[in-house]
């Protein structure tokens, strides 16, 4: 049951959607639903085309470095036939707060892969950092998914970071099947999807929004903040999830010092 004030008004509120009755809202919602369903069907068609991409075979015995030392890339499959890897950017010598905030959003949203595992898909992070630095960062962040260093490696295993990449295994043979970067990795970040469902969206300037809406800020403006919770990319900022980590609060530990400053 819905309730309404004794004297409802449809006067526009500054910077907010127009106020209408429920029936009018439902009609507008149903109209948008037609477009949403078409978008879903197109997404299904693209996924079908993605499944039909050719693949590239590569040497799965090439060694990456993890907590147990060098291991063959094949080990990342954990005995499963499919593997998804996120290639996390890395800045040598930078403190924890100086590592990539964009990759942090991805890593933070992928702390548990049980649903992937249930479908026969393993998941891992790789990065170009020296393992001793990577291990300290992973411990600080509290990540539970496997991490590996692919330092000095190229091709399907290494190469540019900031990518989400899929692999297939057939026995001891390994294949690259798909890779995407930039906004292609957004499907991992559930927070962005939820923000897209809100009236003000992501709060970024590039978004198409009605006149009178908040103008928005630069892309990704909310990914770093200071000790008081203010979004900032200044010297007192760190990736947002780091404020929930033990020992992350003291101001003297803040700042993007070193190579990534």
Say which residue the tokens 């950092």 belong to: 129
Q: Are strands 147-149 and 173-181 parallel, antiparallel or unpaired?
A: unpaired
Using CA atoms, how far apart are residues 30 and 9, in angstroms rounded to an integer?
Answer: 23
Does the residue 128 lie in any domain?
Answer: yes
Nearest CA among 233, 226, 229 for reference residue 254: 226
pLDDT at 71 over 80: yes
User: Which one has a higher pLDDT value, 227 or 85?
Assistant: 85
- Is 237 a domain residue? no
CB 110 within 8 A of CB 26: no
Buried b (16+ CB within 10 A) or exposed e, 128-165: bbebebbbebbebbebeebbbbbbebeebbbeebebbb
The rounded mean pLDDT for the chain is: 90
Any domain includes 134: yes
Is 75 domain-assigned? yes
On whether residue 30 sits in a domain, the answer given is no
Query: What is the domain range of residue 65?
Result: 54-187
What's the pLDDT tens digit per position in 155-204? 999 999 999 999 999 999 999 999 999 999 999 999 999 999 999 999 99
Provide the domain count of the chain: 1
- The answer to whether residues 147 and 107 touch, using CB atoms and an 8 Å cutoff, is no
Q: Is residue 205 part of a domain?
A: no
pLDDT of 256 reads 47
Of 249, 204, 190, 246, the closest CA to residue 225 belongs to 249
Q: Where are the beta strands (DSSP E) in 128-244?
A: 147-149, 163-170, 173-181, 224-225, 238-239
Cα within 13 Å of Cα(171), Cβ side: 1
Cα 236 to Cα 254: distance, rounded to the nearest angstrom: 5
User: Does the pLDDT value for residue 3 go beyond 50?
Assistant: no
- CA–CA gap between residue 61 and residue 78 (Å, rounded): 14
Report if residue 211 sits inside a domain.
no
Q: What percent of the chain has pLDDT above 90?
A: 79
**Quick check: 74 pLDDT over 70?**
yes
Using an 8 Å Cβ cutoff, are 237 and 224 in contact?
Answer: yes
| CA distance linking residue 106 with residue 260, whole number of Å | 19
Asked whether the beta carbons of 61 and 72 are under 8 A apart, the reply is yes
pTM of the model: 0.88
Across 208-214, average pLDDT: 93
174: DSSP letter: E
| Residue for token pair 């991805």 | 106
CATH of the domain at 164: 3.40.30.10
* Predicted pLDDT of residue 86: 97
Q: Could you tell me if residue 157 is inside a domain?
A: yes
């Amino acid at each position: 049951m819905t309730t309404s004030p004794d004297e409802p008004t449809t006067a526009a509120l500054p910077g907010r959607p127009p106020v209408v009755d429920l029936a009018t809202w439902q009609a507008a919602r149903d109209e948008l639903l037609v477009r949403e369903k078409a978008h879903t069907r197109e997404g299904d068609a693209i996924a079908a085309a993605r499944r039909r991409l050719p693949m590239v075979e590569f040497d799965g015995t090439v060694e990456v470095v993890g907590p147990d030392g060098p291991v063959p890339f094949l080990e990342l499959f954990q005995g499963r036939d499919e593997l998804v890897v996120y290639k996390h950017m890395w800045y040598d010598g930078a403190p924890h707060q100086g590592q990539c905030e964009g990759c942090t959003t991805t890593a933070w949203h992928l702390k548990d892969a049980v649903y992937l595992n249930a479908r026969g898909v393993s998941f891992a992070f790789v990065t170009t950092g020296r393992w001793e630095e990577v291990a300290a960062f992973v411990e600080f962040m509290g990540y539970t998914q496997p991490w590996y260093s692919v330092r000095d490696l190229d091709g399907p295993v290494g190469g540019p970071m900031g990518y989400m990449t899929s692999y297939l295994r057939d026995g001891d043979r390994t294949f690259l099947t798909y890779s995407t970067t930039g906004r292609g990795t957004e499907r991992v970040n559930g927070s962005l999807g939820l923000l897209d469902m809100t009236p003000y969206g992501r709060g970024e300037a590039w978004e198409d929004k009605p006149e009178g809406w908040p103008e928005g800020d630069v892309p990704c403006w909310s990914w770093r903040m200071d000790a008081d919770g203010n979004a900032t990319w200044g010297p007192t900022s760190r990736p947002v999830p780091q404020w929930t980590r033990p020992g992350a609060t003291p101001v003297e530990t803040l700042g993007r010092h070193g190579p990534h400053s």
